[in-house]
A and B are shown apart, each in its own frame.
Chain A
């Protein structure tokens, strides 16, 4: 049975409202202290009267809210009457102030040494039933000349303990726009410390770790907005991608990665159910010689078995294949190297 769209909309709205109501109900059950800051200020109560300890507070990790005895200096009568609801939103279950991990470094003591006017930063103070956080904005921090210079210089750690939890993108200097998957190498090479301001090593290792067991595009399949190199059917077109930019593959995958997978696929010499990927006659020097000169990484992707490599049999000294070295190789490498290099000795017995 198909329900009319208006009925579906009404049902959906009611369901959402019920969920929101339930969430609000449970939230409202948690106790908090009702402090009408505006009324206190109007009565001429100075900040220091209640927040005395803040003048000695050097970090945000300590509890600097007034203790109950401070409130009772003026409001003892209400407690004596048993009117706990005068201050507590849920007097049935009065709670203590929860410990919170502070992500900011802030020394109230040194700030107050310079200026005892709290309203310079705390321009809006919490009122009862106002659930939104009333902490000073970052803009008010940057209103001070010293902080503005630090912000410009990107010295975030002066104030922030940890930026990795924030969805910040430093758009002024590192925009992350365009094909940043490809272009980020330029920034990471020459300004890696700037990357670490926001990204920890886990972020890099998700893509770069040689030890990772599963591709990121499988783990994060829902992130269709992100660019992943190996997404969907990369497998069938990877030979084309590799030929277009062999160095790009080898930055993350050693040639062992190619040969181990090609062995499982039956492409390497001696593998089970060996396939023949080469065209007929490829063994002739006229065919495979120029291909190897042009694209040696492709050869290595299947044939790199060290001393047992296919090429050794024909190209070793005295073999029918002759010397495989390009002219430029002989210019840079002297014969004396042979005795010091085990790899050379595979052919130069």
Chain B
């Protein structure tokens, strides 16, 4: 690594301290939350043979959820070589695309892309579980995706993933994904995941987006999943069921004015032969760039339960950098949980961006919910960026 140095380094941190109720051994107790995340980015490192070399580390430590702990969210070195055609990334990282299903792993990722948009990516390593639990013998993942991306935003890919847990097959999927914009007003996107080990369709997901005019978007959506195929194949619960869940619906967004947008959607649900539906509506107002107001309504109904939910959130940023936010939410369950159907939450937050690098904030939260007859939380936060 001789001859490498950081051209630009940034360090940032967020520390949170607070107190809240939690369920411990079946009893409600007040626990303290102490949390500090520290991140480091070093970009534009220079190393012979590589372009855009960078290092990223995000790690946290503290006492959360009634227990002390620490972990690493990200820790990788990334660079491009072969005239930027080949991208390599080594370490704890995040991979998306095809059947990878937004996965974190410790290992190597490589992506080679030709000048005409043909590419092949591959990764191998150990899937990340919480608190370094992944360093158990026998956990391993390997995956690959071949794709063709002729222009920005248009791509078609074929992918495969093979994952072991404690040495036994946990997941083996193959998939097809595509995003295509045949017209300026139409984007077609979708994916299909086939469970190779179970010879079943694990997921189909399509969502065409139509923009008849710049201020209006209409998105249709259909998705089928086989929920038990999202369980690890090592679980004994994979042998009991063979079900499908479907949902189909439409969502409309209307940018009524530069500062006002409206959103509404409705979806029908089919849950292993039973039906339900989900609908929501939202208005968002951004006035004078300093004030944000969001109001929304949500209704979910499934055979086992359902709820009506309403929420209002407002935030105003003063010229001094002080921001005040208020959030109110209530929902009413169709069937009681612990004898209660109504939940009400309220929070107020004040933050002060002292300058571009420092921010302090405090939040007070109060609620009465089916789980907690009364719930109070206080949170203080300090963030900085150097």
Contacts and interface: CB of A to CB of B under 8 A. Distances in A.
Interface of A: 16, 19, 101, 152-155, 161-162, 173-175, 177-179, 183, 185-195, 200-202, 204-205, 208-214, 218-219, 221-225, 231-233, 235-237, 239-241, 243-247, 250-252, 254-257, 264-266, 271-275, 292-297, 299-300, 303-304, 306-307, 309, 311-312, 324-326, 328-329, 332, 341-344, 346-347
B107 interface: no
A225 B284 contact: yes
B272 A332 contact: no
A162 to B, nearest CB: 7
B179 A190 contact: yes
A311 B238 CA distance: 12
B140 to A, nearest CB: 16
23 contacts: A183-B207, A188-B97, A190-B97, A192-B96, A201-B74, A202-B58, A202-B73, A208-B102, A214-B62, A219-B35, A222-B361, A225-B284, A232-B311, A233-B329, A233-B331, A236-B369, A240-B333, A245-B225, A275-B26, A297-B237, A324-B240, A332-B199, A346-B236
B30 interface: no
Contacts of A296: 227-228, 231, 237, 240-241, 243
B234 interface: yes
Given A193-B149, A224-B327, A239 B381 contact: no
Nearest to A308: B236
Contact of A221 (B61, B271, B361): B361
A239 B94 CA distance: 28
Interface residues of B, number: 147
A213 B69 contact: yes
Contacts of B60: 212-214
A250 B304 contact: no
Interface string B165-185: 000100000000111010000
A178 B251 contact: yes
A189 B235 contact: no
A177 B217 CA distance: 8
B205 A219 contact: no
B57 to A, nearest CB: 10
B150 to A, nearest CB: 9
B200 A332 contact: yes
Given A178-B253, A221-B327, 19 more contacts: A19-B320, A101-B8, A177-B217, A178-B251, A179-B280, A202-B74, A205-B74, A208-B94, A221-B349, A221-B363, A222-B350, A224-B349, A232-B345, A240-B306, A240-B333, A294-B272, A299-B237, A343-B235, A344-B239
B195 to A, nearest CB: 10
Most A-side CB within 10 Å, residue of B7, B131, B177, B217: B177
Interface in B330-386: 331, 333, 337, 340, 343, 345, 347, 349-351, 361, 363, 365, 367, 369-371, 375, 379, 381
Interface string B75-118: 01000000000000000011011100110100000000000000
Contact of B230 (A175, A244, A297, A307): A297
Nearest to B187: A173
Determine the main DSSP class of A at the interface with B: helix
Contacts of B350: 222
A214 B14 CA distance: 11
B177 A189 contact: yes
B245 to A, nearest CB: 7
Contacts of A224: 292, 294, 313-315, 325-327, 349
B261 A177 contact: yes
Interface of B: 7-8, 14, 16, 18, 23-27, 33, 35, 37, 39, 41, 43-44, 56, 58, 60-62, 64, 66, 69-74, 76, 93-94, 96-98, 101-102, 104, 128-131, 149, 151-157, 168, 177-179, 181, 187, 189-191, 198-200, 203, 205, 207, 209, 211, 217, 219, 221, 225-228, 230-243, 245, 247, 251-253, 255, 261, 263, 265, 269, 271-274, 276, 278, 280, 284, 286, 292, 294, 300, 302, 304-307, 311, 313-315, 319-320, 323, 325-327, 329, 331, 333, 337, 340, 343, 345, 347, 349-351, 361, 363, 365, 367, 369-371, 375, 379, 381
B345 to A, nearest CB: 4
Contact of A341 (B74, B168, B269, B313): B168
B94 A245 contact: no
Given A173-B181, A209-B104, A237 B255 contact: no
A179 B280 CA distance: 10
Contact of A209 (B73, B203, B207, B347): B73
Contacts of B225: 245, 247
Nearest to B364: A221
A236 B271 contact: no
Contacts of A200: 41, 56
A303 B212 CA distance: 50
Contacts of B337: 236-237, 239
Most A-side CB within 10 Å, residue of B200, B207, B241, B294: B241
A208 B104 contact: yes
A300 B263 contact: no
The 3 A-B pairs of least Cβ separation, nearest first, read A154-B152, A266-B26, A224-B313
A309 B14 CA distance: 41
Given A173-B153, A175-B217, A272-B26, A300 B235 contact: yes
A231 B245 CA distance: 25
B351 A243 contact: no
B177 A204 contact: no
